Amino acid sequence: MSTLLEVTDAHVSYGKVEAVRSVSLTVAENEIVTIIGANGAGKTTLLSAIMGVFPLKGRVAFLGEDLARYEIEDRVARGLCLVPEHRELFATMNVEDNLQLGAFRMSKAHAARGFEHVYTLFPKLKERRKQLAGTLSGGEQQMLAMGRALMGSPKMLMLDEPSLGLAPIIVAGIFEIVAKLREEGVSVLLVEQNAKAALQVADRAYVMELGEFVLSGKASEIATDQRVAASYLGFADAAAS
Amino acid sequence: MNTTILLFLLQDGITNGAIYALLGLALVLVFAVTRVILIPQGEFVTYGALTYASLAAGRMPGTAKLAVVIGLVAFAFDLYAMRKTLHAPKIARAFALHVAFPVVVLLASMWAADQRMPAGVSLVLSLLIVASIGLSLYRIVFQPLAHTSVLVLLIASVGVHLALQGLGLLFFGAEGQRGPTLLTASATLGSLRFTGQGMAVYGITVAFIIGLWLFFGLTLYGKALRATAVNRLGARLVGIRTTLSGQIAFLLASTIGALSGILIVPITTLYYDTGFLIGLKGFIAAIIGGLISYPLTAVAAIVVGIVEAFSSFYASNFKEVIVFTLLIPVLLLRSLAAPAVEEEKD
């Protein structure tokens, strides 16, 4: 498997506060990688900086190409796509328009195929296609945010807290889609507080604490690691026994 | 007051209101997309009107040369910004937009000024000249400041207004000018007389508003512009460049400004600084619309036009005072109705 995304020695600062310190990570083709960690560990900052929303010190390479000189829009054009924590939908526009704009850089034929693909993955969106994005439920908004990102046919999708504020049954549905995307050849970098669900779907995982990676490895191994179990999975006793 | 005067004032007010509506809509659009409060909108009005009047009188307008000069500066800005990634298609696009476009328009207007072309040709050329100035101004002044606060953008906006007004005096002199009417026909309905020019104002305004509505509702670029206005980060994340949206917004605003000027210059004499006051009335409508609502702005513009018409009849000395006083109750109501909002940080 060839490397898709490679981040080397990344630092991200807000003024004098260094929110991300010396982080390195890789994501290969057809791989689901998750970054888990507590609230405020710097996960969202890291994802945003990889996308180009904040300046990042260090090297970010996508498909072997250094991204430093590229703006957000150019990174999107190269196949890197972020579904942000706050979803950033076009609230006063309907579902169909939101999706259409997801394929802003694509041809009409491409957009048509994208609609078909997204409506197959999320039949709910097809039912709601004339409804304003701002009036959707939280789960539907998350589906729309993911659908909008998929309209641009990304090679890699970065999902920031897709389960935030959603009912467990909807979370399960979203993680099923994540697994399905990998089968379709889309790599996923998943940031989650819901460590249990994330580790079940991911191949590899990084554990982030106070801006640094403290642990990394296969998701199955991380899931059984005692420190992780104690801090993030909430069943320390079960893991110990 | 008899009905004839009432109807006459209403008619006059609606004609002016239609112009203010166009200007107000352009201000709302530019603010929503770029957060710039477009003070130089009034200069676009003046430039459009006086360029049209000059061309129609067979004189070469200085604005066509200005378009070429600031186009060259804008192209230099683009080249400097692209110095690390010299990408041929992007350079070609910048060249076409900032150099080739104004040069072609300049040559066309030199040719047209000699020929005494029909009013329609002068109209199109004037629109193109002002549109080109608007585009290059965005590149030089507002695009480099895109990440700054609304206040910084406003100060830059005032600076551009002062500079353009000064240049306007240089190009057109202190004398007022009038342009030829677009339509000479007229019709009478009861006691009201509808001039061809008045009908042209209504017709073009309504057509333009419908055109804008279709553009925003149906086309991909129109939707992209709305998307940038609704959620700037979201738009960037799907690959819509803030720069592209800004360019389209300025292109529309400068065209609308110039068009408004061309529509009124056959009715009233315009001086190099008249546009500012006209622009401000569009601004009142935009403020009443909260700088966000298009329908409210359009309705408010008609009200501003009617109030202006009645106050110029009953208290012509206080005409401007009365119109601008409209703002006070609106601002009071708005400040009472809406909680204080911190300025957007991005």
A52 band by pLDDT with thresholds 50, 70 and 90: very high
- pLDDT of A135: 94
DSSP A132: B
In this structure, of A10-24, A72-86, B14-28, B332-346, the range with the lowest mean pLDDT score is: B332-346
Q: Which two tokens stand for residue A52?
A: 């180009």
Helix (H) or strand (E) holding B94: helix B88-95
Q: Above 70 in pLDDT, residue B224?
A: yes
Which residue has better confidence, B144 or B346? Answer: B144
Of all residues in chain B, the percent with pLDDT exceeding 90 is 55
Q: Above 90 in pLDDT, residue B327?
A: no
* A91 near B CB under 8 A: yes
- pLDDT of B194: 79
What is the rounded average pLDDT of the residues A14-25?
Answer: 89
What is the rounded average pLDDT of the residues B163-169?
Answer: 95
Shortest alpha-carbon distance between residue B144 and chain A (Å): 15
Say yes or no for a CB contact (<8 Å) between B239 and A152.
yes
* ipTM higher than the 0.85 cut: yes
Helix (H) or strand (E) holding B253: helix B242-264
Nearest to B234 among A69, A89, A97 (CB): A89
Q: Above 90 in pLDDT, residue A88?
A: yes
B341 band by pLDDT with thresholds 50, 70 and 90: low
Nearest to A88 among B224, B226, B234 (CB): B234
* A152 near B CB under 8 A: yes
* A114 near B CB under 8 A: no
Give the tens place of pLDDT for each residue, B126-140.
999 999 999 999 999
**SS3 for B136?**
helix
Average pLDDT, chain A: 90
CB A164 within 8 A of CB A193: yes
- CA–CA gap between residue B106 and residue B70 (Å, rounded): 13
Q: Which two tokens stand for residue A181?
A: 């995307």
- pLDDT of A237: 46
- pLDDT of A236: 44
- CA–CA gap between residue A152 and residue A82 (Å, rounded): 11
Q: Above 50 in pLDDT, residue A241?
A: no
* A104 near B CB under 8 A: yes
- CA–CA gap between residue B44 and residue B92 (Å, rounded): 27
- CA–CA gap between residue B88 and residue B6 (Å, rounded): 62
What do you get for the CA distance between the two ends of chain B, in Å?
54
What is the rounded average pLDDT of the residues A74-98?
Answer: 94
Rounded to two decimals, the pTM is 0.86
How far does Cα A107 stand from its chain's mean position? 25
Amino acid at A132: L
- CA–CA gap between residue B193 and residue B190 (Å, rounded): 8
Radius of gyration for the alpha carbons in chain B, expressed in angstroms and rounded: 20
In this structure, of B87-91, B236-240, B242-246, the range with the lowest mean pLDDT score is: B87-91
Give the tens place of pLDDT for each residue, A98-128.
999 999 999 999 999 999 999 999 999 999 9
* B306 near A CB under 8 A: no
- pLDDT of A240: 41
Amino acid at B61: P
Say yes or no for a CB contact (<8 Å) between B235 and A84.
no
Nearest to B223 among A71, A81, A97 (CB): A97
Radius of gyration for the alpha carbons in chain A, expressed in angstroms and rounded: 18
Say yes or no for a CB contact (<8 Å) between B231 and A81.
no
A234 band by pLDDT with thresholds 50, 70 and 90: low
What is the rounded average pLDDT of the residues A186-213?
Answer: 92
Maximum Cα–Cα distance across chain A: 57
What is the rounded average pLDDT of the residues B279-302?
Answer: 90
CB A156 within 8 A of CB A25: no
Which residue has better confidence, B345 or B149? Answer: B149
- pLDDT of B339: 63
- pLDDT of A122: 94
* A65 near B CB under 8 A: no
* B229 near A CB under 8 A: no
Average pLDDT, chain B: 89
Residues 6+ apart with CB under 8 A from B340: none
What is the rounded average pLDDT of the residues B13-34?
Answer: 92
Interface mutation target, options B85, B90, B238, chain A, most CBs of A under 10 Å: B238
- pLDDT of B57: 87
- CA–CA gap between residue B213 and residue B221 (Å, rounded): 13
Residues belonging to chain A: 241
B340 band by pLDDT with thresholds 50, 70 and 90: low
- pLDDT of A239: 41
CB B26 within 8 A of CB B282: yes
Nearest to A101 by CA among B221, B44, B138: B221
Shortest alpha-carbon distance between residue B304 and chain A (Å): 28
